[in-house]
Amino acid sequence: MTERSTMVTVSAEVAGQEGDPRSGQISMRCDDVAVKFNGRTAIRDVNFDIPKNKVTALIGPSGSGKTTLLRAMNRLHDLTKGAVVSGSIRLGDTDIYKGGIPATLLRTRVGMVFQRPNPFPTMSIYDNVVSGLRFNGIRNRAVLQEAAESALIAAALWDSVSNRMKAHASTLSGGEQQRLCIARALAVEPEVLLMDEPTSSLDPISMRLIEELLDELKSRVTIIIVTHNMQQAARVSDLCAFFLMGNDRAGEQIEVAPTKKLFSEPDDPRTLDYIQGRFG
């Protein structure tokens, strides 16, 4: 899909970063993580650290298990019958699977934004943003108001909706709905925000808006983003993890490296093949 020369230009844009993003604090840590559905392995052998207040991108072709891994990070597989997550995923010092934390509580600390905007259509814009706080038992109006404003500002939506907070969420455009979902996730002040191809259903302008947003959100949350779009990964991420589908059709981790390095001089030849568009 792209030639090497463009890749190099793109990666040059992110040249502002210094050193390895992993040198700072660690937010989440995956050790030997594997996810199986009814005995069939979807992804395995995942071992890497997610640096705090950085953007980590998970890239790779379809079927490489990126989304499966992402959903394991806030225990969304709990809903799926026959899904087993093995190994350990740690948030700070807590193993999120081995009884360390109830799933409900974990999800307030690790939020998620989905592929398609999914605001609650029966709720107003305001109710959407504060829904997480209300679910968690926060009733104080002033607190809700303040959190809603802060989250909407952070999601770059405040200016366009501040005068119509009672309007239905469905009156917003697709890009605005996705930013509303980001605001909804931010309102509970998670430590980590998981994003599953958040721009894949949006137009290019909305996509660019959200990409620009990520850079500002870094100071507030640690971001893990799954994307099919390699330019996007190159533009927004500090660290990049590359996955491929193995011979047994299970996804596996190929290489994890600072984005700049991964796109310019990857260690693994398969990574080079992928970013040069030889498959996927």
Residues of this chain that bind other proteins (CB under 8 A): 74, 76, 79, 81, 92, 102, 104-105, 107-109, 111-112, 114, 116, 118-123, 131-138, 143, 146-147, 150, 181, 184-185, 187-191, 220
Shortest separation between residue 215's beta carbon and other proteins, angstroms: 17
Measured CA distances, 163 to 48, 144, 167, 280 (Å): 44, 17, 9, 45
- Of 177, 156, 168, the closest CA to residue 121 belongs to 168
The residue among 147 and 214 lying less far from other proteins, judged by its C-beta, is 147
Tokens 């005995």 — which residue?
39
The residue among 14 and 138 lying less far from other proteins, judged by its C-beta, is 138
Shortest separation between residue 204's beta carbon and other proteins, angstroms: 23
The residue among 144 and 161 lying less far from other proteins, judged by its C-beta, is 144
Shortest separation between residue 189's beta carbon and other proteins, angstroms: 4
Shortest separation between residue 90's beta carbon and other proteins, angstroms: 14
Q: What is the DSSP letter of 201?
A: T
The residue among 73 and 240 lying less far from other proteins, judged by its C-beta, is 73
Coil, helix or strand at residue 169: helix
The residue among 14 and 123 lying less far from other proteins, judged by its C-beta, is 123
Measured CA distances, 106 to 76, 109, 114, 232 (Å): 11, 5, 17, 28
Shortest separation between residue 160's beta carbon and other proteins, angstroms: 21
Q: What is the CA radius of gyration of the chain?
A: 19
Judge contact between 43 and 80, C-beta under 8 A. Answer: no
Residue 177 CA to residue 141 CA, distance in Å, equals 24
Shortest separation between residue 109's beta carbon and other proteins, angstroms: 7
Bridge partners for 168 per DSSP: 124
The residue among 5 and 81 lying less far from other proteins, judged by its C-beta, is 81
Judge contact between 224 and 171, C-beta under 8 A. Answer: no
Residue 163 CA to residue 141 CA, distance in Å, equals 18
Determine the number of helices (DSSP H) and then strands (DSSP E) in the chain.
11, 10
Residue 278 CA to residue 25 CA, distance in Å, equals 35
Shortest separation between residue 78's beta carbon and other proteins, angstroms: 9
The residue among 9 and 25 lying less far from other proteins, judged by its C-beta, is 25
